[in-house]
Amino acid sequence: MTADVLPVLPLTEVSELLARCKVSPVELTQSCLGRIESANDQVNALVFVDPETAIVQATQAQQRYTLRRPLGLLDGLPIVVKDNIAVSGWPMTNGLAVQRTSSADADIVSRLRRQGVVILGSANMDEGALAADGVNPHHGRIMNPAYPGYSSGGSSSGSAAAVAAGFCSAALGTDTLGSVRLPAAYCGLVGFKPSHGRLSTAGIISLLPELDAVGPITRSVADVVHLMTEISGWIVSIEQSPLGRLRWGVPDSFSEEELDVDVQVPFEAALADLSAVVRPQAVTFRHWDPGTLRRSGLLLAEHHAACHWTDPSSAYSARLKSMLQYARGASADRLARAQTCILESKSDLIACFSEVDVILMPTAPQTAFASDTSAPVNQADYTALANAAGCPSISIPCLTPEGGRPAGLQLMSAPGSDEKLLAWALQVERLLVDC
């Protein structure tokens, strides 16, 4: 196997090659750095790369493998992190026109280091994580390597683009209203948002603490399981979680007018494939209105940023200044209504989990949109619900006709059931591939 193929293999396959000493961490890291050097100018996925430190980390991992003392199954694997996640000694911008140097690692970065992960660099992102079009006014447009001419989504735009381009084995992003799952769906990848609080967000620039989460973007569900098992000690057992015993729900709140046909067709096909094993039932929400929830979450995120960010005004684009000024002027009554909307949506979803174990829906109403067009305002209509409820959610690519852009299939389960959701997602992924 040639070294240039390694970065585009699933993380689990690369991990096995490392464990069997079929490839070295230095070879793998050099291959990723080579891809970054040759293609990042076009993709613009990364805003900071530290090749020297990466090679040092890889060399240390290689020595551990030589001594048969790896730190774990992630030792030597190259990963990038979103530019709002602190890495000690590295610059961090949060997508703004200002640069600060992190004095300490974010908690999630510390977890990765303890496993011997090689951290390559920081991923470009939407400004302040308050957009989802992959266009940063200070650091440039992020391209979708899997589908040239189309957006990689956001706000973890660069994280998804880096994985799709083969710059790394996996990437970390943040998700407040869908910002891990949306770019994963647009790039044909897997994005996982854990339950609120299951992974610490300490050392990450907050957008809205009650909705924020940090999660991985990978090539497969198995890759997510591999990561979460190693850094968090989660036990994911398929044997204890067979699909046929589950109650599956599909919201009856979808508007056929909102769903693009490029999403509706593969979503219905996925349901048909799953019907051999499961029988989804319709679930009804009393209060959840997708658009209202998305707008409420965005307003509260903007208001939190306006009240807590301390960057100079010169760090913001005119667009972001306008958003923050608008939110700063929101009345107490309007903010209270937005908070009520989130609480009622949460109550709706939690109540549904007394009737079903898993809820299925599209990740987004559309596939990746052309990068030279305006971003659809409804992108986060279906992802925001999991953030409001604090429940785990994962986006898996739906199979599409040859040449078509992937649609995301989103699975959600009750708060705290992350390990079960991943076990179910593994089986769903395999079933869809086999079909």
Note the pTM of the prediction, 2 decimals. Answer: 0.97
Distances (CA, A) of 198 to 212, 228, 295, 392, 418: 11, 11, 25, 9, 9
**Residue-range domain boundaries for the chain:** 1-435
Cis peptide bond upstream of 206, omega within 30: no
SS (H, E, C) 281-325: EEECCCCCCHHHHHHHHHHHHHHHHHHHCCCCHHHCCHHHHHHHH
Walk along the chain (435 residues) and give the pLDDT tens digit of each residue: 566 788 889 999 999 999 999 999 999 999 999 999 999 999 999 999 999 999 999 999 999 999 999 999 999 999 999 999 999 999 999 999 999 999 999 999 999 999 999 999 999 999 999 999 999 999 999 999 999 999 999 999 999 999 999 999 999 999 999 999 999 999 999 999 999 999 999 999 999 999 999 999 999 999 999 999 999 999 999 887 788 889 999 998 776 668 899 999 999 999 998 888 888 899 999 999 999 999 999 999 999 999 999 999 999 999 999 999 999 999 999 999 999 999 999 999 999 999 999 999 999 999 999 998 999 999 999 999 999 999 999 999 997 767 788 899 999 999 999 999 999 999 999 988 765
Cβ contact 183:82 at 8 Å: no
Q: Which structure tokens are listed for 86?
A: 């602190």
Rounded Cα gap, residues 76 and 94, in angstroms: 27
Burial degree of 232 (CB within 10 A; 0-12, 13-18, 19+): middle
Domain range 1-435, CATH class: alpha beta
Active site residues: 82, 155, 179
pLDDT tens-digit map of 87-114? 999 999 999 999 999 999 999 999 999 9
